[in-house]
Structure 1
Amino acid sequence: MIYLLLILLTAAVAPFAIEHYRIAMSDGRRGSAPGQFVELSQGVTHYHLTGPADGPLVVCVHGLTTPSFVWTPLASALNDLGFRVLVYDLYGRGYSDRPDALHDKIFFNQQLDDLLGKLEIQSPFHLIGYSMGGAISAGFAATYPARVRRLVLLASAGTSVIEGPLLHFIRNRGIVGKWLMLAAYPFQLRRGIRAECESVPVLPEISEGQEAQLRFRGFIPAVLFSLRGILFKPLEGEHMTLRRNGLPVLAIWGGKDTVIPASAMGRMAAWNREATHEVIEDAGHGLPYTHTAEILEYVTAFLPAPEGDDWGHDQ
């Protein structure tokens, strides 16, 4: 009986102990990282600001498990065309801090608002969001309509809640849900990365970098905070606000996406009849890094060309 209790106690404690002993994100770890860092109200944020200083600004927001490096191919291509591009690591991912807080719309709005303030960016900019970053971007644009010129959503979350018995339990069972998240999520993420690599060509630095997030303390809790926050409910009100404000919106979907299927466009279209939708039939969920050329073609057709852009610039 004692042995059984010890086994049960070990099973109960192990996921929390493993999380505690994961690598902490620190100044030492950031020392060799590319890009720059800034102290914001909720912690340190890692960012890259690249491209011609007088180019129209494009801000890119990554997804649930993918740090800002997923934007590298697209950002480089946009720079070559004359755009200035800002990418950054959301809290809990990449080289940014891991604050212990609910990752809801207010939380993510604050991070981006703080970052723009520190960089003294005041003029309106284009905003691109990928997966969960699409939900964050839609929320930011709905909250600050005068700051966003055009919005691009890639395989965007926020049209429905990704559900299932396991996710429902994790979202709604407090500390027990957190225990299950810590215990099961590393296996789920690795399996998803392998499945993507088997279905489409993925650059090693993308897949390896995504899996490497599991080594750092605070990453898995950040995913959980987002599941309980920005991803907890559909963003119907935000998308209806975008339509009322007349913000141009382009949504691009992957025809073979099993994470956020292209059928989600129907719900978004019902909320915002003015949005433009495109489908890349052979694409899965990794649009910005598996189908960069196609995304670039759609994005550059949607955004005003830099040479004909007469808006003011901050950077």
Structure 2
Amino acid sequence: MAWLNQTADFLSDSLANPQTRIPLLAATGASFTLGLCLRSLFSKQESPRLLPSPRTTLLPALSDSEKDALPLPLDVLPGARDVSTPYGSIRVYEWGPEDGPKVLFVHGITTPCVALGGIAHAMADKGCRVMLFDLFGRGYSDSPSDLPQDNRLFTTQILLALNSSPLSWTGAGSGRFCLVGYSLGGGIAAAFASYFPDLLSSLVLLAPAGLIRDSQISFQSRLLYSNGLVPENVLSFLVGRRLRAGPLITPKPKNEKVSAADAITEELPTQGQANVQLLSRAYPNVTVPAAVKWQVQNHIGFVGAFMSSMRHGPILKQRQLEAWKRLGKILTAQKSLSPEEQQAKGLRNGKVLVLCGNHDSIIVREELVEDATAALEGNVEFKYFDAGHEFPSTKYDEVAQRILDFWG
């Protein structure tokens, strides 16, 4: 506040001179206003520990018809429930035959879980019990803003979602479950499997993050990964503005480096593909781009959750390689088990199934195959789609069939 006191003293002395009074008032007023704006912009303000989802901040003021008309209706998928936790409320969806094979889906960094609704419906049609949930800060899940969005928080959220089910997903006789992760969710799923392999019957990764090479990261994203280079509220403003801008008009060339904008837009279907989505059977008009745009505008915790996931989440190879290697050693050790033991506690086929797009500019196919094969000690099977990063929300029937084929 010293600059403010000096300004006040200078004003007091100068106002005694009539010739300088008016110009000085104008100049000082402008400087004072600019100073307050800069101080407000660059000063660090304490944020609340919990940022509620639109379920709390928006929906109470809407009528039933207005709720149904939302780009992301509250009951967009079957079997909805809200789970109260110390980290905030989690939105969970679960449906399908109670005695069917269990499948848990983990979505990407930008989209709410409805992006995987098409695959979940397809798997439920085949007799599976499916569960999805919105990651913290997405969809209708709250955001614990005082915690980093890292493997610890994501693992905790998975266990909380599983524990909320009326069925046993992890206990004796539960039959274990298949874990399917997309993009950021793929990195989350790989890390989870490296710690809790005995809970899983199989692991399926869709265009997974976690092994993106550091050389692929742009300067823009490095700003997000580095604390202190740019004030948080400035970064939040810039990221929020980019998020609200929506999809890129033209696809990013495959050889360009990954930026925050790419991570945002590559999960959205390219032009001409949005109309082939059927992610919600209760609301056939729901699309990923519209749901993401609405989420950006109405979830006060989303921008912060996105930035925290970019910084701390399982995205970069240099941060996540050890988790993948740990999983590889587990799978190699599984080969020494008897067929009966593998049936009881091993991952199906002793391998991880990885699905990716041939034209994905975020998860580069050639690099993913090389790095995942090495980290998992060859215990991996790859399948490819003639698509980009968004294929799980546009080719969901084919993805579901690939998973079933892998199960045999």
Q: TM-score range by the shorter chain?
A: 0.7 to 0.9
Match of 1:276 in 2: 381
Q: 1:27 aligns with which of 56, 65, 68?
A: 56
Query: Aligned ranges for residues 220-235 of structure 1 at < 5 Å?
Result: 220-231=303-314, 233-234=316-317, 235=320
Give the equivalent residue in structure 2 for 1:258.
Answer: 361
Which amino acid is 1:208 matched to?
A
User: 2-side partners of 1:268 and 1:158: how far apart?
Assistant: 10
The answer as to whether partners of 1:129 and 1:156 remain within 8 angstroms in 2 is yes
Deviations 1:68-96 (A, max 9, x none): 11111111111110011000001111101
In structure 2, distance between residues paired with 1:231 and 1:180: 24
Q: Where does structure 2 lack aligned partners over 5 or more consecutive residues?
A: 1-26, 61-66, 68-73, 250-267, 278-285, 332-346
Q: Once the two structures are superposed, what CA deviation does each residue of 1:115-154 show, in whole Å capped at 9, x if it has no partner? A: 2123242231000000000011011111111001111111
Give the Cα separation in 2 of the matches to 1:170 and 1:266: 27
Cα distance between partner residues in 2 of 1:163 and 1:262: 16
Partner deviation per Cα, 1:260-291 (whole Å, 9 max, x = no partner): 2223222111111110112212x111121112
Provide closer, same or farther for how the CA distance between residues 291 and 88 of structure 1 changes in structure 2, counting only shifts above 3 A: same
Q: For residue 218 of structure 2, what is the aligned residue in structure 1?
A: 164
Amino acid at match of 1:275: V
Match of 1:158, SS?
coil
Query: Who is 2:389 aligned against?
Result: 285
SS in 2 for 1:211: helix
Does 2:185 match 1:113?
no
Distance apart, 1:112 and its partner CA:
0.8
Residue 175 of structure 1: CA displacement? 7.7
Unaligned runs of 5+ in 1: 305-315
Question: Aligned partners of 1:105, 1:188: CA distance in 2, in Å?
Answer: 26
Map of 1:98 onto structure 2: 143
Taking a change above 3 Å as real, the CA distance of residues 8 and 233 of structure 1, as seen in their structure-2 partners, is farther
For normalisation by structure 2, the TM-score amounts to 0.67
TM-aligned CA deviation for residue 187 of structure 1: 3.8
Q: What is the distance in 2 between the residues matched to 1:249 and 1:170?
A: 31
Equivalent residue runs for 1:1-315 within 5 Å: 2=28, 3=30, 6-7=33-34, 9-10=36-37, 13=40, 25-27=54-56, 29=58, 33-34=74-75, 35-100=80-145, 101-119=147-165, 120-122=168-170, 123=174, 124-160=176-212, 161=214, 163-174=217-228, 176-190=230-244, 193-195=247-249, 196-202=268-274, 203=277, 205-215=287-297, 216-231=299-314, 233-234=316-317, 235-246=320-331, 247=347, 248-263=351-366, 264-272=368-376, 273-281=378-386, 283-304=387-408
User: What is the CA deviation profile of residues 205-263 of structure 1, one whole-angstrom value per residue up to 9, with x for unaligned ones?
Assistant: 21100111212211000011111212464221121222222242111111111222223
Deviation at 1:200, TM superposition (A): 4.9
Superposed CA RMSD in Å reads: 2.7
- The answer to whether the Cα contact below 8 Å between 1:57 and 1:84 also exists between their aligned partners in 2 is yes
The total of aligned residue pairs comes to 301
Task: Tell me how far apart the structure 2 counterparts of residues 173 and 9 of structure 1 sit (CA, whole Å).
Answer: 24
One-letter amino acid of the counterpart of residue 206, structure 1: V
CA distance in 2 between partners of 1:232 and 1:262 (Å): 15
Which structure is richer in relative contact order (CA contacts within 8 A, separation 6 or more)?
1
